[in-house]
Structure 1
Amino acid sequence: MTSSGTAPLRLVIHAPTPTALERARNNARNLLAARPDAQVRIVVNAGAVTAALDGPDAETDRLLRVCGNTLARTGRSAGGLTVVPAGVLDIAEAQAEGWGYMRA
């Protein structure tokens, strides 16, 4: 519960493409501007992984969770980004914990 007595706002934004990653970053910025106490994760897989690695964003990179399966398939390294074993698993586990889901 938050100090106002409401449940915390927790949202997973799924970004599987470069365009979706751009939308996810914008959605995360907008949500955090409106609700600074919100918890936001952006799970990137497929084509969004390359976009995230090639186009870092200082404001939202801390929110990214990069699919390890995609990294292995592409032979890329995540640098300093958070890596999860599988994007789909990370999303499913977050939903099981009560996080909301949005596909960007």
Structure 2
Amino acid sequence: MENLRLIIHAPTAGALERGRRNLANLLKQAPTAQVELVINAGAVAAALDTPSPLDSHLRICRNTLEANLFTAPDGVSVVAAAVLHIAQRQAEGWAYMRA
């Protein structure tokens, strides 16, 4: 599974929780997989409130951060727009899963 590349999309607090579990389970079975947990909307506040050891895989939507006057923590990647990042990754051949 060395070529496995997956985007997990989480737009809500509940989806963030599921996405983090999906991410952990995937990495347990396929530790070399490339996986990003892309979050926007309600998932952003939840992620900022409850950090996780898996947050190095997070990609936070800058639009959501700015609309809510949030600041991303150090070490967490910010993308210009979740929708654009997901579309670009899919164009590059990444698989998509909604949490």
Q: TM-score w.r.t. structure 1 length?
A: 0.91
Aligned residue among 30, 33, 53 for 2:28:
33
Aligned partner of 1:38: which letter?
A
Q: Kindly tell me the number of residue pairs found equivalent between the two proteins.
A: 98
Does 2:58 correspond to 1:64? yes
Residue matched to 1:15: 10
Residue matched to 1:79: 73
Structure 1's consecutive aligned runs of 4 or more residues displaced over 4 angstroms after TM superposition are: none
- Greater C-alpha radius of gyration: 1
CA distance in 2, matches of 1:54, 1:94: 27
Gaps of 5+ in 2: none
Does 2:42 correspond to 1:47? yes
